[in-house]
Amino acid sequence: MKKRLMVGMSGASGAPIAVELLKQLQKEESVETHLIVTRGAELTLQQETELSLEDVKALADVAYENDNIGARPASGSFQMEGMVIVPCSMKTAAGIVSGYSDTLLLRAADVMLKERRRLVLVARESPFSTIHLRNLYELSQLGGIVMPPMLTYYNHPESLEDCTRYTVQRILRQFGLNTDAYEWEGL
């Protein structure tokens, strides 16, 4: 059976990172992607890319409506390898940390934590407020992996697309995928 990976997109800046991730995951034959897009993410997608919501949904194997709280990812009995929320808004982070699972994306993340599955949060805001930092700290304490899409220079990126690809490689590594990507070789 293929590994099921949940991809949640919420309304922080960074929709192109999610798009690139979905494209890379299409190349992974062992992985089945399950996608949830929030209303906020629809807006950032519109602002930050030329793609429609339908274009993005077509990159996933299965796409769900965020208000369908009865869909399969709402249950721990639905076997999932893990979940990445990319980008993860501060509102979504707050929803997860408080266990306020009133949408499918929040419920799916809640399931990851209760089932002790991998939950990667590509959290994006700048600057972070103390509330944001407290929520992200607590999510880390709860087992979530908080990985903001930080810039790196040591890999000599030549474009924003390079930065996006590198961030996606780091995300894939969290799930043991694309391990032949750039690796620091030491000084």
Residues in contact with ligand FMN by the rule CB under 6 A = 10-13, 38, 40-41, 43-44, 47, 89-92, 124-125
Residue 160 C-beta: closest distance to ligand FMN, Å: 15
Give the helix, strand, coil percentages of the chain, each rounded to 5: 40, 15, 40
Residue 186 C-beta: closest distance to ligand FMN, Å: 34
- CB nearer to ligand FMN: pick between 33 and 103: 103
Query: What is the residue whose two structure tokens read 């808004």?
Result: 89
**Among residues 171, 155, 151, 146, which one has the least CA distance to residue 22?**
171
* Cα 160 from Cα 76, distance rounded (Å): 37
Residue 11 C-beta: closest distance to ligand FMN, Å: 3
- CB nearer to ligand FMN: pick between 128 and 166: 128
Residue 149 C-beta: closest distance to ligand FMN, Å: 10
* Cα 156 from Cα 123, distance rounded (Å): 23
- CB nearer to ligand FMN: pick between 9 and 80: 9
Q: Where are the beta strands (DSSP E) in 108-187?
A: 118-123, 145-146
